[in-house]
Structure 1
């Protein structure tokens, strides 16, 4: 069996995002093969075929394990020797400890006795092989980047191992790679790496020829002239690249010469600098770095509180389990939830724990750790969901009369928040996907056009904020950095609120991260300090303003130009609200507000505090807060692994549907081409991740909109079943599969960090069974039934009435005819007097609209699905809106009474 010289060169495993699957499957197959080959009684066994496949799988692992310390490349070489010498029992003994470790996502592989010997452990080692196997401590890997001989490599690993103590909180293993490129590949592929040690001796090219996907990705991210860099510059470039891939990693620099000079250049890239002889300090720093991320101050405080004896003489009979453990009738509550949850129930007024409203201790520390993890300047915990987080942000920034630009398709909490704040709302239209009965996102051209409309009307100073959803429920993701950059070129002090309710996980993957609010704000902060950027701005501004009058040139030029804001006048004020509980580990309603606002302290600090007080309970759920704290720990330590896994698992479902004869007859996963019109894309791949990490990176770096690959919008029109029925009857009732959103002819499936391969396999199996059911049902139909069925299918596959645009506010709630904003608060409270309102059934309403009468909605009308307000207070009814509502086949419409009809405002309200 010949060792391959090319890493990841096989087309079947050329995508770094699925290396975890290739690695797991290869080890599992080798275990199976070792068992089969050791069975001499099986005369029908295809030994030649097995050995051939064993050689192929070993070749895969020799490429992959070079980037892992455990079990590592040496272990695979030893395994190859055993297979070549027919030592199948010994091979199996080397494989089984590895495959057992994969039950824990291969993050804590224990070392067998043979591994222990190879890694330098001996019988007189303080940690014997037996204690290593049973060591309960969490393990991680440390990557060293240095081009050294095998002897020097082993000496360094042995020296670091000698520093271990039984009292260490964690255990780590060390792997050494020789080059810049190998370091980047290792950090991309191996999520168990938690720290990197850079030493000046590393080279640039990878030790092996890389596959096309990795090669393309590296070429687009490494400076083409890197070979000409001085050692110092090369070190800094590598540090920057490693941090861009995995910002949570701790970086350390070990050098013998000019360490004092290097210290002046690193600019906080490294946690610490060392000389080569300081192995003990390096060891302690590695442990301390991980300990800092492992720390959960509030979760720990709640645990400690629950263990203290106490006598309760305040509210909360349930505290310490008092009202439960003494009950004859509700003991099952304690049995179901567990006494730890009841023992942790307490109040801030009881002492021992911090206050959410005035945090000075463990909650404050937990929020500071969250800010670090999510790349924010400030982070705040919210215990009653992102609906409340949105209300807090809106109220803290807006005063009555401020104009806010809002995606009309945003979550209903924004509409209610704007009404409460008294803001004047200017609704922007997202591009419609009429065929599937939902919206996409708001184009940058639409946003810029509206800002320019307000500038032309002389009202730009009234525009305070823009609110957008990123990513949308259906997975459409904005180019956040570009949107903010171009908007700030028109309105330098514009405040941004990005509703990232479904996007909290994105921070923890290098491609996703670039399209998050906090990462984009950081990137713009760096840009605005770059002299070269300022020079580009000066050059562009000369073309955008008349040199004689100083006034802006025509709007068409501004719309056609990729605008750059002036760093001298811009104020970067960015807020993001996230439903942590939706995409990361947290209890229901656990959310966060992340802030990157350079004017927060002197412009918004007090108003934010008051808004937070307004909407936050004085009796917050401490279990929710504790879950936010420990969920942050998980995201920092293993988020990268889990996020890339969830994206690949979704892709595997899409591929299974596309390849299966019967599945693709009845189901179709909508791709980028179907969800994003061509004018918003520069790339052409329908599913970028399917074509590799580099393809996804290209799309996410260039296209105006992209699709989150962890979301699958499944078109089900060919089944003849609408989305709501498919969800309840076929998925939930029959098979226990839970989904959140449907449209007339689609069902949205989302993978998350908790999704397993077995869950994905179950979903595919269920879809196959359903396809078989629909096929049998179709085969049993007579001619007339088949014709009726085909009419139903045509109705679901065809295009219904177009999604209605926002019509307009009634004249009495508008400011003028040149701009679109309206007084939603005024309209809302007008309806509080019953004499101001009436009800109309749809047919009578349609007659009045057809006659040219202005009929005005008194409230919000929100059908589920699609889940956005079709009407808001003060909005004018139109024929298009009524046609759309008539065509909807949905059981739930908030704001519409089937017995009374629509609530409308009278023409002459009673003031």
Structure 2
């Protein structure tokens, strides 16, 4: 980063430039997708890449310098970069202005060198393309050496009104304090205002710490886009209205607290520090809760050491480090694991390829002993316990537990810990099969909640809140509310439909204040690391709800609402009154929330690596002992240490770069959706399903069909207000016009022809999921494949008889079946929907108690008015929820649905013998 170029007013493009704030300057458009305005990582990369391409063409004489005219894309890129680079360390606005001066002077080769240095850094390379050492001044030479440093680097935001000389001095001081012994390196970004600070943490994903100096101003002088301005205002408003927001009677202190609250709500992983002069002791007493430490300006060395130490805490992976240490130790193996230390492999004549393929470290790290610091998963006291505590910090939980055999087991652990025989659990009928199996194992009585069906696409949505409230009110009216123990819901669903957990829990607790909640977040672990998606996670919702219940405003609102909901004689008013309001729970309600994560599905972890997160106010009194008993019941005494190590590493990754990875994941999914929707051929063949199709109108807010496509602020509003939203990382594409069903599209076309893997299809949809490992190249390849397939399908359709094609199109799909009911022998006597699933399950395991009946025979039985009862689970996979459970009456609707199901793998169904049905005379 050179420090010698002269300053000019920045002139960013429309992607970051707001015409209303631009003071008469032009605002040319660089970013063609308006919804990508918040995706600065892509805008920044593309702008520098294009600038390098354009200048290189001119420098080599392949183009005239007219391509560098002030109204061309190259200078639009420069104008955009002048604002963007303010929020990133390393080069800065002066560097960009210096490049523009070189271009205006015609010194294209020097400009190309300087642009190349930026592009090389953005690509993560330590070797510069076309490097010309003679063009480097001393400051740039230091910058070059800095770029070749292999140590992990991060950036520190400083919020203060400073001169350019002050910023140069701060940068020089950082270089001076840097030591060869430091594990990490960092550089400062200095911004003058609170708005600039918020813009920086929203756009620069590499910031891991923020130093606030009280001299900052409130408003930015940068011409930011309207979309970014709206996002900043939303962030500040949300922080001000949060129940845990800080308050001070001193305006100067409140200004600092307000900024700290906003930054903490956006990026909880950021460490905040305050640097002050006068009255530092008094400030420390007031501000400690928001700032990790308070320093005086002269304490630069202490600040430097603190920054490195705190990032070191994020970087720490205690169990992975213990595994590494164990692998390096020379030990003698005298336990029951021949593969440990490679003993049974490296000297074998026949299986040496195991070590060749997986590597020797895998074998060196294997052990069945808990010595050497490796700890015990069943009773952790050392490295595993510390790793779990770090995971709890990362995900906002009070306790976190690692699970090495998947979220199916995690769900069973939670159910067994919290549910006993006879307890009623309100559970989404379409949740994963592990919840249904848990009901059978624990003896709990499921009361199935019905999600709204999406019949046109052959899958279910989510359970509307009014249905959950109505069921609770029904149990209250029957005098059985005390039997209802827990509510279990999937957030988000396989197809990406996301609840508002805070509202669901608040309104349910208003009816029954001691309810326990289990949120199956198997597909939603990534959400904890983005400022918008985080608000709909179970742990953040629990924390927010706990804080809200403690406020006097909440207590007053609750008292006022109670007068409308209860009669003078102490009886509740009609259900319509309770369903017509957004219920406010009692301040005495208990926050008891559990979440299960398939960490391996959406974050970095080996297969079957999962976590259980706990936010339970009654943990010690009510849950700790039964939870540990359940954990030991379902957890192997020989857990896979490699899975545990990967969970430890996955936690490190998301704390240090989770925001960057998730933002990129969401942006790439949105770009995929836009590419399909805008490409003439693709939109003729495929249809991207949005909130308009996936959420019924009565449950939709006023937001756009794909809010992120309109910008981060649009997504923020929808996720803050709507009952249901769609996870932007999941793109469901309807393929009816291809002429093939989803299973054929998946296997014969995507996988067999092009090696593209997808998890889920329905009869006429395919679900494409992005993740934190998705790249722009992968998206481009998928689009290329979809174009090729669309061309193929159009050619095939053109050869078909149009009369036959029309007849096929007229074939209606059967409606999605609701849960029918439990047979009378297993149903509740009170006419409520809960039933006994355990008795018919074990009865269905007895050979003499069941018979197998084929589909057509079952149709005849049902047509005659008989009520055959399922003797087991019948579960299409994916998505993995049962169509039939033990004790359920089989109806014509269920059989119609099963008859057209195109899933190849159906658990519990034998295509040769048929369905397993309980014999009527042996059901008891």
- 1:82-115 alpha-carbon deviations (Å, 9 max, x no partner): 1111111111211222212222499x99x99899
Q: Which of these residues, 181, 186, 193, is aligned with residue 200 of structure 2? A: 186
- The answer for the alignment partner of 1:390 in structure 2 is 411
Partner of 1:263: 284
Greater shift, 142-151 or 649-658, is seen at 142-151
Q: Where does residue 691 of structure 2 map in the other structure?
A: 672
- 1:212 pairs with 217, 222, 226, which one? 226
Asked if 1:761 is matched to 2:775, the reply is no
Shift of 1:259: 1.7
- Aligned counterparts of 1:886 and 1:459: Cα–Cα separation in 2: 38
1:787 is matched with which residue? 803
Pick from 852, 859, 868 the counterpart of residue 865 of structure 2: 852
1:740 offset after TM fit, Å? 0.3
Helix, strand or coil: the match of 1:325?
Answer: coil
Asked if residue 828 in structure 1 is aligned to residue 849 in structure 2, the reply is: no
Distance in 2, Cα, partners of 1:652 & 1:414: 35
**Could you say which residue in structure 1 is the equivalent of 2:530?**
509
**How many Å apart are 1:643 and its aligned residue?**
0.3
Cα pair distance change 1:642/1:218, threshold 3 Å: same
Point out the more displaced range, 439-448 or 836-845: 836-845
Counterpart CA distance in 2 for 1:443 and 1:44 is 62
Where 1:210 maps in the other structure, the secondary structure is coil
Are the equivalent residues in 1 in contact too, given 2:159–2:212 (CA < 8 A)?
Answer: yes
CA contact (8 A) 2:337 2:367 kept: yes
1:116 deviation in Å? Answer: 8.9
TM-score in terms of structure 2 length: 0.94
Change (3 A) 1:712 1:13: closer
Distance 1:599 1:55 in 2: 61
The verdict on how the C-alpha distance between 1:129 and 1:696 changes in structure 2, with shifts beyond 3 A counting, is: closer
Deviates more, 1:440-449 or 1:252-261: 252-261
For residue 76 of structure 2, what is the aligned residue in structure 1? 56
How far apart, CA to CA, are the structure 2 residues paired with 1:18 and 1:840?
56
Q: After superposition, give the CA deviation of every residue in 1:858-886 in whole Å (9 maximum; x if it has no partner).
A: 11112245542111000011121122222
Given the alignment, which residue of 145, 148, 173 partners 2:159? 145
1:134 aligns with 2:155: no
Q: Which runs of 5+ in 2 are unaligned?
A: 1-7, 19-28, 241-247
Distance in 2, Cα, partners of 1:432 & 1:910: 32
- Distance in 2, Cα, partners of 1:546 & 1:256: 59
Residue by residue over 1:280-299, the C-alpha shift from the partner in whole angstroms, topping out at 9 and shown as x without a partner, is 10111111111110000001
* Cα pair distance change 1:907/1:300, threshold 3 Å: same
Distance 2:203 2:267 in 1: 11
Determine the structure 1 residue equivalent to 2:25. Answer: none
Residue 541, structure 1, aligned to residue 562, structure 2: yes
Residue 793 of structure 1 and its aligned partner are, at CA, apart by 4.2
SS of the residue 2:917 aligns to: strand
* TM-score, with length taken from structure 1: 0.95
| Structure 2 counterpart SS, 1:274 | strand
SS at match of 1:749: strand
Partner deviation per Cα, 1:791-819 (whole Å, 9 max, x = no partner) = 33444xxx411100101001111122431
Structure 2 CA distance for aligned equivalents of residues 793 and 648 of structure 1: 35
CA distance in 1 between counterparts of 2:485 and 2:691 reads 33
Q: Which residue number corresponds to residue 92 of structure 2? A: 72
Distance 2:65 2:805 in 1: 50
| Contact 2:38/2:228, CA 8 A, preserved across alignment | no
Partner SS, residue 17 of structure 1: coil
Partner of 1:820, secondary structure, is coil
Alignment partner, residue 348 of structure 1: 369
Q: Residue 222 of structure 1 is aligned with which of 199, 212, 236?
A: 236
Secondary structure of the residue aligned to 2:448 is: strand
Q: For residues 872 and 702 of structure 1, do their structure 2 counterparts lie closer, same or farther at Cα, with a shift above 3 Å needed?
A: same
- 3-state SS, counterpart of residue 680 of structure 2: coil
Report Cα offsets for 1:204-262 as digits up to 9, x if no partner: 11121321111212223325999997110010110010011100001000111222222
Q: Does the C-alpha gap of structure 1 residues 116 and 278 become closer, same or farther in structure 2, counting only changes over 3 Å?
A: farther
Would the alpha carbon gap of residues 859 and 114 (structure 1) be closer, same or farther in structure 2, given more than 3 Å must change? farther
Aligned equivalents of 1:228, 1:179: Cα separation in 2? 21
SS of corresponding position for 1:896 = coil
Q: Distance in 2 between matches of 1:277 and 1:310?
A: 50
1:527 and 2:548 correspond: yes
SS at match of 1:857: coil
C-alpha separation in 2, matches of 1:422 and 1:225: 44
Q: Secondary structure at the match of 1:264?
A: helix
Q: Is the 8 A contact 1:94 1:112 kept in 2?
A: no
1:315 positional shift = 1.1
Indicate how the Cα distance of structure 1 residues 768 and 408 shifts in structure 2: closer, same or farther if over 3 A, else same. same
Inter-partner Cα distance in structure 2 for 1:292 and 1:527: 30
Partner of residue 854 from structure 2, selected from 841, 856, 875: 841
Matched residue, 2:895: 882
- Quickly say closer, same or farther: Cα 1:664–1:13, change in 2 above 3 A: closer
In the alignment, does 2:654 pair up with 1:638?
A: no
| Structure 1 residues 40-439: aligned runs within 5 Å | 40=61, 42=62, 47=67, 52-104=72-124, 131-223=145-237, 230-439=251-460
Q: How far apart in 1 are the matches of 2:427 and 2:17?
A: 46
- What does 1:393-792 correspond to in 2, within 5 Å? 393-547=414-568, 549-568=569-588, 570-781=589-800, 785-792=801-808
Contact 1:145 1:199 (C-alpha < 8 Å) held by counterparts: yes
The alpha-carbon deviation at position 576 of structure 1 amounts to 0.2
| Structure 1 residues 495 and 606: CA distance shift in structure 2, 3 A | same
Tell me by how many angstroms 1:346 deviates.
0.9
User: CA–CA distance in 2 between the matches of 1:630 and 1:31?
Assistant: 36
Is the CA contact 1:97–1:112 (under 8 Å) kept in the aligned structure 2? no
Quote how far apart the aligned CAs of 1:23 are: 0.5
d(CA) in 1 for partners of 2:840, 2:757: 38
Q: CA deviation at 1:844?
A: 2.1
Equivalent residue number for residue 43 of structure 2: 22
SS for the counterpart of 1:747 is strand
Cα pair distance change 1:225/1:816, threshold 3 Å: closer
CA distance in 1, matches of 2:84, 2:377: 46
Quote the Cα distance in structure 2 between the aligned partners of 1:58 and 1:401.
Answer: 68
Could you tell me how far apart the structure 2 residues matched to 1:880 and 1:671 are? 27
Measure the CA separation in 2 of the matches of 1:139 and 1:450: 53
- The answer to whether the 8 Å contact 1:835/1:910 transfers is no
Counting matched residue pairs gives: 895
The answer to whether the 8 Å contact 1:113/1:130 transfers is no
**Cα deviation per residue 1:264-288 (whole Å; 9 max; x = unaligned)?**
2225211101111111101111111
Distance 1:114 1:169 in 2: 32
Change (3 A) 1:449 1:312: same
User: Alignment partner of 2:392: what SS?
Assistant: helix
Aligned to 2:447, what secondary structure does the other structure show? Answer: strand
Change (3 A) 1:715 1:229: farther
SS of residue paired to 2:698: helix
Greater Cα shift, 841-850 or 487-496:
841-850
- For residues 173-228 of structure 1, give each alpha carbon's deviation from its aligned partner in whole angstroms, at most 9, with x where no partner exists: 10110111000000000001110000111111112132111121222332599999
Shift of 1:167: 1.2
CA contact (8 A) 1:17 1:648 kept: no
| Residue matched to 1:125 | none
Aligned-residue offset at 1:349: 4.2
**Deviation for aligned residue 1:43:** 6.7
Distance 1:228 1:20, change over 3 A: farther
Instruction: Work out which of the residue numbers 3, 6, 11 in structure 2 matches 1:4.
Output: 11
Q: Is the 8 A contact 2:326 2:372 kept in 1?
A: no
For residue 121 of structure 1, report the CA deviation from its aligned partner: 7.8
Cα 1:843–1:329 shift into 2, 3 Å: same
CA separation of 1:194 and 1:910: change in aligned 2, threshold 3 A: closer
Q: Aligned partners of 2:455, 2:237: CA distance in 1, in Å? A: 44
